[in-house]
C-alpha cells in the first residue's frame, strides 16, 4: 500500500495509506475539512508540501521507495526538471533505496520514510547504517549551497565531531563543495538548521561549543523545522490599537516582521508566538510612534533587537548599531573588534583616542 505524506510549514501533519495520487489529495482535503477549513484556504497562509510515497518493494531484505512531490491538484512533478535525491543504504542485511523527487532541497521526508520502513528511530539505527546520499541538481554539476551542506555532512566522519569554521572550509574545498559568500559561517547553515532541521549546533544553541566552532550532531534532520516566510515591510494601519483589532479578527493576516510566524505558532525555542509593538526605527535612533514606523513583531524577536539594530525603511534590511551590539559581546570578541578598527583607522586618530582613554 502506498502512502500520502503531508507537511505544513515543514511539520508532518499526515502519513496515511492510499491507493493512488487521486486518493492522496482526497485524504488531504478530508483532513483539513475535519479541522474546519479547506486545503485551498490553508495554502494561502501556510507552506504546504504533499508527497505521494510509492512503495515499490518492502520485503524483509529489500526496500525501495519513490517519494514524488504533488501539486494541490494531485499532479506529479516533472522528473526532467526536478531535484532528485537518491538515498542508498544497508542496515543489518537489509538493502534500502529511497528517491525523493521535488522542486526543493528537502531530505527530511527521506529520513522519515526510512523510520517507517525500519520501524525504528533514526538515532537508534545510525551507528549500524551504511548509507550514501546523492543528488541530481536542476543544473548539471551546479550544487546549491544547501545541497553542498547536505552532501558534506552526510559523509561518515564529517558529523558527530567539533569543527572550527576554518577546518570545515578547508575540507569542503578538498571535496569540491566549497561555499560562496561567507560560506560555512553565513546564512545558509542557519537555514540548514531552521528550514531543513539539520542539527548544526553553534555557540548560540550550546554554550559548550566555543566561538568560531560548531558541531553537526547527526547526518539527518532532527530539529524543529519551519520554512521561512516573508512578512510585510509596511503595515497600512492607523495605529497599534487597530493592529490589535486586526489580530483578533484575522490572525492569519499578520506575521512577525522578523521571523514570519503567526500569533500562537511555536518559535525556534518552543515558545508560543505573541505579538508586541515593534518599530522599524528604534527610539534610540530617533524613531517615533507614527504608523509608518510601527510594525508587528513577536516578543522573542523584539527582545533580541534591544536597540541593537534598526530596519532600513526602504529595503527592510537590518542596520546594526555597533556600540550597543558590542556591549553584549565577550572580552575576546571586543578585543578582536578593536584590532579590526585599529587597522582601519589613521594612526594619528588611534594615538589620539588612546591618549584620551589613558588620561
- Dihedral Cα 103, 107, 113, 118, nearest 10 deg: 150
pLDDT at position 120, please? 96
For residue 72, the 8-state DSSP code is T
User: Lowest-pLDDT range, 87-96, 159-168, 233-242?
Assistant: 233-242
Least confident of 160-169, 184-193, 213-222, 332-341: 184-193
Task: List, in sequence order, every residue forming a beta bridge with 85; answer none if it has no partner.
Answer: 100, 135
Q: Which has more pLDDT, 18 or 290?
A: 18
Beta 62-70 vs 94-102: how paired, if at all?
A: parallel
C-alpha cell at 206: 550550546
pTM of the model: 0.67
Q: What does the pLDDT read at residue 284?
A: 62
Closest of 258, 267, 233, 261 to residue 247, by C-alpha: 261
HEC profile for 305-353?
HCCCEEECCCCCCEEECHHHHHHCCCHHHHHHHHHHHHCCCCHHHHHHH
Q: How many CB atoms lie within 10 A of CB 178?
A: 15
Query: Residue 79's closest CA among 60, 54, 59?
Result: 54
For residue 272, what is the DSSP state?
A: B
Give pLDDT, residue 323. 79
Average pLDDT of the chain, as a whole number: 85
Beta-ladder partners of 12: 7
Tell me which of 125-134, 296-305, 329-338 is least confident. Answer: 296-305
Q: What are phi and psi of 74, to 5 degrees?
A: 95, 10
| 192-233 tens-digit pLDDT | 888 889 999 988 788 889 988 999 999 999 988 876 544 444
- The span from the CA of 117 to the CA of 125, in Å, is 12
Contact 151, 178 (CB under 8 A): no
Of 179, 103, 102, 113, the C-alpha closest to 146 is 179
Note the residue count of the chain: 359
Higher-pLDDT residue of 50, 328: 50
Confidence band of 180 (pLDDT split at 50, 70, 90): confident
Asked whether residue 252 carries a pLDDT value surpassing 80, the answer given is: no
146-174 as b/e: b if 16+ CB within 10 A: bbbbbbbbbeeebbeeebebeebbebbee
The rounded distance, in Å, linking the Cα atoms of 134 and 100 is: 11
27's grid cell: 485524504
| Helix (H), strand (E) at residue 32 | helix 21-34
Is residue 6 helix, strand or coil? strand
**303: β partners:** none
Contacts 24+ apart (CB under 8 A), 299-305: 299/273, 299/274, 299/275, 300/259, 300/267, 300/269, 300/271, 300/273, 301/256, 301/257, 301/258, 301/259, 302/258, 302/276, 302/278, 304/258, 305/258, 305/278
Is 247 strand, coil or helix? helix
Tens-digit pLDDT profile for residues 32-87: 999 888 999 888 777 899 999 999 999 999 999 999 999 999 999 998 889 999 99
pLDDT score, position 316: 67
Q: Mean pLDDT highest for which of 150-164, 175-189, 327-341, 345-359?
A: 150-164
Grid coordinates of 337: 573588534
Q: Which three cell numbers stand for residue 191?
A: 537555514
Question: Which helix (DSSP H) or strand (DSSP E) does residue 160 occupy?
Answer: none
Average pLDDT over residues 78-103: 95
Amino acid at each position: 500500500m502506498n502512502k500520502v505524506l503531508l507537511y505544513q510549514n515543514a511539520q508532518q501533519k499526515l502519513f496515511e495509506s492510499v491507493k493512488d495520487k487521486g486518493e492522496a489529495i482526497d485524504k488531504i482535503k478530508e483532513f483539513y475539512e475535519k479541522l474546519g477549513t479547506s486545503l485551498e484556504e490553508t495554502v494561502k497562509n501556510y507552506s504546504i508540501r504533499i508527497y505521494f510515497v510509492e512503495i515499490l518493494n518492502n520485503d524483509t531484505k529489500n526496500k525501495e521507495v519513490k517519494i514524488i512531490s504533488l501539486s494541490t491538484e494531485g499532479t506529479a512533478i516533472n522528473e526532467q526538471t526536478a531535484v532528485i535525491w537518491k538515498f542508498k543504504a544497508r542496515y543489518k542485511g537489509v538493502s534500502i533505496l529511497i528517491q525523493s523527487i521535488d522542486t526543493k532541497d528537502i531530505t527530511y521526508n527521506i529520513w522519515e520514510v526510512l523510520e517507517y520502513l525500519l520501524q525504528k528511530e533514526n538515532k537508534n539505527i545510525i551507528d549500524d547504517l551504511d548509507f550514501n546520499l546523492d543528488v541530481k541538481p536542476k543544473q548539471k554539476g551546479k550544487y546549491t549551497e544547501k545541497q553542498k551542506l547536505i552532501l558534506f555532512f552526510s559523509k561518515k566522519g564529517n558529523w558527530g565531531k567539533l569543527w572550527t569554521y576554518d577546518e570545515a572550509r578547508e575540507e569542503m574545498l578538498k571535496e569540491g563543495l566549497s561555499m560562496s559568500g561567507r560560506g560555512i559561517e553565513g546564512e545558509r547553515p542557519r537555514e540548514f538548521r531552521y528550514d531543513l532541521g539539520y542539527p548544526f549546533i553553534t555557540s548560540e544553541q550550546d554554550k559548550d561549543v566555543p566561538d568560531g566552532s560548531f558541531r553537526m550532531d547527526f547526518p539527518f534532520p532532527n530539529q524543529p523545522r519551519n520554512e521561512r516566510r516573508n512578512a510585510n515591510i509596511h503595515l497600512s494601519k492607523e495605529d497599534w490599537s487597530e493592529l490589535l483589532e486586526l489580530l483578533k479578527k484575522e490572525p492569519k493576516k499578520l506575521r512577525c516582521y522578523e521571523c514570519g510566524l503567526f500569533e500562537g505558532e511555536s518559535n525556534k525555542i518552543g515558545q508560543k508566538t505573541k505579538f508586541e509593538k515593534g518599530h522599524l526605527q528604534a527610539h534610540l535612533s530617533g524613531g517615533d510612534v507614527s504608523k509608518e514606523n510601527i510594525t508587528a513583531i513577536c516578543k522573542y524577536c523584539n527582545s533580541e533587537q534591544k536597540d541593537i539594530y534598526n530596519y532600513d525603511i526602504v529595503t527592510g534590511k537590518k542596520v546594526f548599531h555597533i556600540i550597543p551590539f558590542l556591549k553584549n559581546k565577550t572580552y575576546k570578541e571586543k578585543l578582536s573588534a578593536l584590532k579590526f578598527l585599529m587597522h582601519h583607522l589613521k594612526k594619528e586618530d588611534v594615538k589620539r583616542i588612546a591618549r584620551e582613554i589613558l588620561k
